[in-house]
Chains A and B, each alone.
Chain A
Amino acid sequence: MKTIATGNKAVAEAVQQARPAVIAAYPITPQTAIIEQIAKAVSSGTLNSRFISVESEHSAMAACIGASLTGVRTFTATSSQGLLYMHEMTNWAAGSRLPIVMANVNRAVAPGWNIWADHTDALQERDTGWLQVYAGSVQEAYDAVLMAFPIAEHEDVLLPVMVNLDGFALSHIFQPLETVEVGDFIAPLHLPHAIDTRDPAGYGVLTGPESYFKFRWDIERSMRDSVNVIQSVQEDFSRRFGRSYGFTEDYLCSDAEVVVMAMGTLGKEAEIAVDLLRVEGIKAGSMRLRWLRPFPELNLAGREVVVIDRSYSFGFGGVLATSVRSRIKREVYSVIAGLGGQEVSYEDIAGFVRRRCIGREDWFGVNGHV
């Protein structure tokens, strides 16, 4: 069905179609509309789920963990401070190998209080064992949530998935949305280690170095295996519903001499910048990173790369720039831009490309020459 929706509404729609048995969540701007819509659907009976209105995000994730351990599908949504508050439990969810799906509406981290788009929240979760995907449009947020369940729940993965969408820039803007009939795209969940009182086991028990280390490796092995699973779920999605996704979304990359890399809405903005630059005769392309974890192989041979980071790892560099550099094993031009919701237009991005300086890092409008 074709309609117009905000990013938040799109996420809530997808969740209702995936029908988790238990949803536990706590409100925070700009995520609130997601859980309000879900709560309404549950209370009106259109969604047959248990909605647990918890007292904190730490508890939201703990409740998802408790529910998920019984083998049922679970979902939560949060943002910023909420995600940080949950951090102990996001580690717990991944370590317990639970296919929990979470929508995170990317927002800056205080202080000062700032509710606008920024990727610092999710990037601080980078090393927890969660798969992370970033949406660039309302449609993609919807599609990514639908795909998150079969990916997380696949027997070769069994890790939680975080679907990221930019606060306000995506959560609150209206764009066209085409919803689908899910049918059997999401198979029933079978959790091999679900709790069974007739076959008792300990979960999360004291574990010595040898076994602990092996369990960590198991997480990494599943992360690596998830690459194939993501690919096949995305292909299945495309076959059924006609929309195709990759690990990155590439725009005019094949003949490009310079490629802009970014995540989320800035990555979409970069595509318009590319059009501008092409008119000027600059052979630019855009490669919007969708999956941050697992981090994909990047086909950037022979091109200069401009990386836009909407967060920063103090004392070292932009997280995306650092990752791209280490993947392609050479220098990039790193632009730090859009923190705390800073306006970054396609004109600005075109400017980054024109004035690029490989090997250098600039903070847009703050420090450096852009």
Chain B
Amino acid sequence: MKIPEEEYLLKCTAACAGCSDSLTLRYVLKAAGPDTVLVVPACCTSVIQGAYPYTAFNLPVVNIAFAAAAACASGMSEALRALGRKTHVIVYAGDGGTLDIGIQSLSGAFERGTDFLYICYDNEAYGNTGMQRSGGTPLGARTTTTPMGKRHQKKDIDAIVAAHDPPFMATACPAYPRDLFQKVRNALTFRGPSFIHVLAPCPPGWRFPPEKSVEMGKLAVKTGMWVLYERRHGKLSLSAPSKTALKNPAPLEEYLSPQGRFEGMDGADIEALKRHISENLLKLASEEAKG
């Protein structure tokens, strides 16, 4: 697999140092190529493009209201197909724009079989507005609106998307760029809606040093906190990094302790999180075994 040299994400974006949102997008765009339109709801990505009349993104980018990305992409995809064009329509949305305010339009677009790729980069909070809780925030994580740690588990958006039975869905993390790149390529070979959920470690939000973004992504996978897989027509296969990691998972504390957001998390919550992780792993393993 050769990752193209072309850059569609140009230098000097307004992203924070170590931002996985931009790192993810860099590979997404390399995989998608130039005949692509990106639809972006309110999120960090709407900021890191830069301000008019400049843009750091070298492809058409449609910025749209927070709740509306999938609906906007729906209309665009229908229009482009009516015009006989194969242009990729890719929604690139945060966890807030996907799990919370945008879930209605996401669900509608998937039900309708819209021909598009929906990518949710998940930094597990509302980054744009300064790190408030989202449906993606894990149990125990401190955000500005959960100052004592979140009381609820992360919403299982993948199960919700899977219930729409899309032809292709996957999880990814830019700490594994080849896996991410390949999954975008795979997704774009399918007609109809596909979904990729990307864990995007966020240094200021999660409170770890910017040079540790890739390491944090790897730890998420090695501890089983994040599992890499893809599902084609409902058939699940774990991806290589997770397959290897889950033979002998690293202790969860290795992932939690370097992050300021989990500081002071109480023992009971850590145990609950561990149970949650092992239940999830069992569920995925048995789904894979069923074939």
A residues lining the B interface (CB < 8 Å): 21-22, 24, 49-50, 52-56, 58-60, 62-70, 72, 74, 88-89, 92, 195-198, 200-208, 211
Q: Residue B105 contacts which of A62, A69, A74 (CB distance < 8 angstroms)?
A: A62
Contact B58 A200 (CB under 8 A): yes
Q: Count the A-B residue pairs with Cβ separation under 8 angstroms: how many?
A: 155
A contact residues around B73 at 8 Å (CB): 66
B287 contacts A by Cβ under 8 Å: no
Chain B nearest CB from A153 CB (Å) reads 15
A contact residues around B61 at 8 Å (CB): 200, 202-203, 205
Q: Which residue of A lies closest to B36 (CB)?
A: A197
Whole-angstrom CA separation of A53 from B78 in the bound complex:
12
9-residue interface stretch from B45-53, B161-169, B182-190, B194-202: B45-53
B64 contacts A by Cβ under 8 Å: yes
Chain A nearest CB from B54 CB (Å) reads 9
Contact A92 B65 (CB under 8 A): yes
Whole-angstrom CA separation of A7 from B112 in the bound complex:
30
Contact A92 B105 (CB under 8 A): no
Q: List 9 A-B contacts (CB under 8 A).
A: A52-B112, A64-B75, A92-B64, A197-B34, A200-B59, A205-B55, A206-B46, A207-B52, A208-B51
Q: Which residue of B lies closest to A211 (CB)?
A: B52
B contact residues around A72 at 8 Å (CB): 79, 82-83
CB contacts under 8 Å to A, within B36-89, are 36-37, 39, 46-47, 49-53, 55, 57-65, 67-68, 70-83, 87
Chain A nearest CB from B270 CB (Å) reads 39
Known: A205-B55, A206-B47. A52 touches B105 (CB 8 A): no
Contact A202 B49 (CB under 8 A): yes
A contact residues around B52 at 8 Å (CB): 202, 205-208, 211
Chain A nearest CB from B81 CB (Å) reads 8
Contact A196 B78 (CB under 8 A): no
Contact A89 B63 (CB under 8 A): no
Contact B104 A66 (CB under 8 A): no
B35 contacts A by Cβ under 8 Å: yes
Contact A69 B62 (CB under 8 A): yes
A contact residues around B81 at 8 Å (CB): 50
Contact A52 B68 (CB under 8 A): no
Contact A89 B82 (CB under 8 A): no
Contact B72 A62 (CB under 8 A): yes
Q: Which residue of B lies closest to A63 (CB)?
A: B75
Interface 1/0 per residue, B85-127 and A, CB below 8 Å:
0010000000000000000110110011000000000000000
Contact B35 A62 (CB under 8 A): no
Secondary structure at chain A's binding surface: helix, strand, loop or mixed? mixed
B contact residues around A88 at 8 Å (CB): 65, 67-68
A contact residues around B83 at 8 Å (CB): 21, 70, 72
B contact residues around A67 at 8 Å (CB): 75-76, 78-79
Q: Which residue of B lies closest to A206 (CB)?
A: B51
Residue from A63, A196, A204, A211 whose CB has the most chain B CB atoms within 10 Å: A63
Ranked 7 nearest A-B pairs via Cβ: A63-B75, A55-B108, A66-B75, A59-B71, A66-B76, A62-B68, A204-B63
Known: A55-B107, A205-B52, A205-B61. A195 touches B37 (CB 8 A): yes
Q: Which residue of A lies closest to B70 (CB)?
A: A59
Whole-angstrom CA separation of A67 from B51 in the bound complex:
24
Contact B79 A206 (CB under 8 A): no
Contact A66 B105 (CB under 8 A): no
Residue from B36, B60, B71 whose CB has the most chain A CB atoms within 10 Å: B71
Q: Kindly list 6 other residue pairs between chains A and B, CB separation below 8 angstroms, not including A63-B78, A70-B76.
A: A22-B82, A52-B112, A63-B75, A74-B79, A197-B34, A202-B52
Contact B79 A66 (CB under 8 A): yes
Whole-angstrom CA separation of A74 from B70 in the bound complex:
17
Whole-angstrom CA separation of A150 from B70 in the bound complex:
29
Known: A62-B72, A197-B37, A205-B63. A55 touches B51 (CB 8 A): no
Contact B105 A55 (CB under 8 A): yes
Whole-angstrom CA separation of A53 from B59 in the bound complex:
29
Q: Which residue of A lies closest to B105 (CB)?
A: A59
B contact residues around A54 at 8 Å (CB): 71, 74, 108, 112
Known: A202-B61, A205-B51. A50 touches B82 (CB 8 A): yes
Chain A nearest CB from B260 CB (Å) reads 28
A contact residues around B72 at 8 Å (CB): 62-63, 65-66
Known: A52-B74, A52-B75, A70-B79. A200 touches B60 (CB 8 A): yes
Whole-angstrom CA separation of A202 from B111 in the bound complex:
29
Known: A208-B51, A211-B53. A62 touches B64 (CB 8 A): yes
Contact A21 B37 (CB under 8 A): no
B contact residues around A205 at 8 Å (CB): 46, 49-52, 55, 61, 63
B contact residues around A22 at 8 Å (CB): 75, 78-79, 82
Q: Which residue of A lies closest to B73 (CB)?
A: A66
Whole-angstrom CA separation of A60 from B109 in the bound complex:
11
Whole-angstrom CA separation of A56 from B107 in the bound complex:
11
A contact residues around B51 at 8 Å (CB): 205-208
Whole-angstrom CA separation of A50 from B79 in the bound complex:
8
Q: Which residue of A lies closest to B65 (CB)?
A: A88
B contact residues around A206 at 8 Å (CB): 46-47, 49-52
Chain B nearest CB from A125 CB (Å) reads 16
CB contacts under 8 Å to A, within B14-35, are 34-35
Contact B75 A24 (CB under 8 A): yes
Residue from B72, B104, B107, B111 whose CB has the most chain A CB atoms within 10 Å: B72
